[in-house]
């Protein structure tokens, strides 16, 4: 552990106050980062009702995650660099695309599909299509890395991005549910509620037309990433990987490309109307 090692080598009397304060802050931020990882994993487990039936299994799964925290949470430095330089280019609107989960937080998983990987593939394609249309895009993560929810919203807020679009995929205990749904947060600023709903409606309409998937509608969701962002924000659930037909569609590169393209087209349509 960090604290005993510190006290093993230094006595209180030989640590000056300016040295002691950072020594205190470091373990606190380390614990905070660990808590975020464990909480995120726990939410995934809860989604699949694992926690409800087996608390010991939960602890067993959390311990290795906590142990891996010794490799401090990787903050995507390239992303922040891109954000600061992007402020300098005028005229092009900035969009933040968030690939859900990452690193230890796999999200849902069925056979060959991991939610974290599919979300990143889709987000990367959306970025490419938006670039082709002349928009500036920041991905909250551009590789398989764990990123706390607070960091994701901070990227969008700090860069004053025009829109925030988070990409996820659904899973359920039964294999029957299928289709695409989009969430927005319907509290707080009225302007943001209306704009987020309009963005969700526009994108969902295009996604359904492009993929032929079932329309599960635009819904209210109280999720951190769409609640704590300042700009219009939505969370897309791009299909159920637990449904065999949708699993097969989402394994197909062409289908994922069509879906990503329709998200980019929806963003453009919304911005042209806004
Ligand atoms: Zn997810």
Q: Rounded to an integer, what is the distance from CA 41 to the centroid of its chain?
A: 13
Rounded to the nearest angstrom, the distance between the alpha carbon of 243 and the centre of ligand 1 is 16
Determine whether 246 is an active site residue.
no
Which residues does 230 contact at the CB level (< 8 Å), separation at least 6? 156, 157, 192
**DSSP 8-state secondary structure symbol assigned to residue 93:** P
| Span 163-170, average pLDDT | 98
Task: Dig out the tokens for 235 from the structure.
Answer: 């969370």
Q: What region does 134 belong to: left with phi over 0, alpha with psi -120 to 50, or beta?
A: left
Beta bridge partners of 167: 99, 236
CATH class name, domain 77-273: alpha beta
3-state DSSP assignment of residue 137: strand
Q: What is the pLDDT of residues 110-136, one digit of tens each?
A: 999 999 999 999 999 999 999 999 999
What pLDDT was estimated at residue 39?
A: 55
Q: What is the pLDDT of residues 147-164, one digit of tens each?
A: 999 999 999 999 999 999
Rounded to the nearest angstrom, the distance between the alpha carbon of 116 and the centre of ligand 1 is 8
User: 274 pLDDT band (50/70/90 cuts)?
Assistant: confident
Catalytic residue among 115, 181, 237, 268: 237
pLDDT at 109 over 90: yes
Rounded to the nearest angstrom, the distance between the alpha carbon of 261 and the centre of ligand 1 is 20
Instruction: Tell me the average pLDDT of the chain.
Output: 79
Rounded to the nearest angstrom, the distance between the alpha carbon of 101 and the centre of ligand 1 is 6
Ligand 1 (ion): residues with CB under 5 Å are 100, 107, 168
Q: Which 3-state string (H, E, C) describes 62-78? A: HHHHHHHCCCCCCCCHH
- Is the pTM for the entire model greater than 0.75? no
Rounded to the nearest angstrom, the distance between the alpha carbon of 165 and the centre of ligand 1 is 13
Query: What's phi and psi for 100, nearest 5 deg?
Result: -60, 155
More confident residue, 101 or 47: 101
Rounded to the nearest angstrom, the distance between the alpha carbon of 152 and the centre of ligand 1 is 14
Q: What residue segments make up the domains of the chain, in order of their start?
A: 15-68, 77-273
């Amino acid at each position: 552990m960090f604290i005993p090692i510190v006290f093993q080598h230094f006595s209180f009397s030989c640590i000056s106050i300016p040295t002691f304060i950072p020594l205190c802050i470091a373990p606190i931020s380390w614990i905070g980062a660990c808590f975020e990882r464990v909480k995120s994993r726990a939410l995934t487990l809860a989604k699949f009702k694992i926690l409800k039936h087996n608390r010991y299994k939960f602890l067993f799964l959390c311990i290795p995650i906590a142990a891996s925290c010794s490799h401090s949470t990787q903050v995507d430095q390239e992303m922040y660099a891109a954000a600061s330089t992007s402020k300098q280019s005028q005229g092009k609107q900035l969009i933040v695309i968030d690939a859900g989960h990452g690193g230890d937080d796999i999200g849902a998983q069925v056979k060959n599909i991991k939610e974290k990987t599919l979300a990143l593939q889709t987000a990367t394609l959306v970025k490419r299509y938006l670039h082709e249309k002349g928009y500036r895009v920041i991905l909250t993560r551009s590789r398989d890395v764990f990123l706390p929810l607070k960091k994701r919203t901070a990227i969008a807020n700090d860069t004053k991005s025009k829109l925030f679009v988070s990409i996820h995929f659904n899973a359920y205990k039964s294999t029957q549910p299928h289709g695409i749904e989009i969430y927005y947060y319907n509290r707080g600023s009225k302007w943001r509620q209306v704009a987020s709903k309009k963005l969700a409606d526009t994108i969902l309409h295009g996604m359904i037309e492009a993929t032929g998937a079932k329309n599960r509608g635009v819904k209210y969701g109280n999720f951190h990433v769409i609640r704590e962002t300042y700009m219009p924000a939505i969370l897309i659930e791009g299909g159920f990987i637990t449904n065999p037909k949708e699993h097969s569609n989402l394994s197909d590169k062409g289908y994922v490309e069509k879906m990503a393209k329709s998200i980019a087209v929806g963003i453009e349509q919304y911005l042209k109307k806004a």
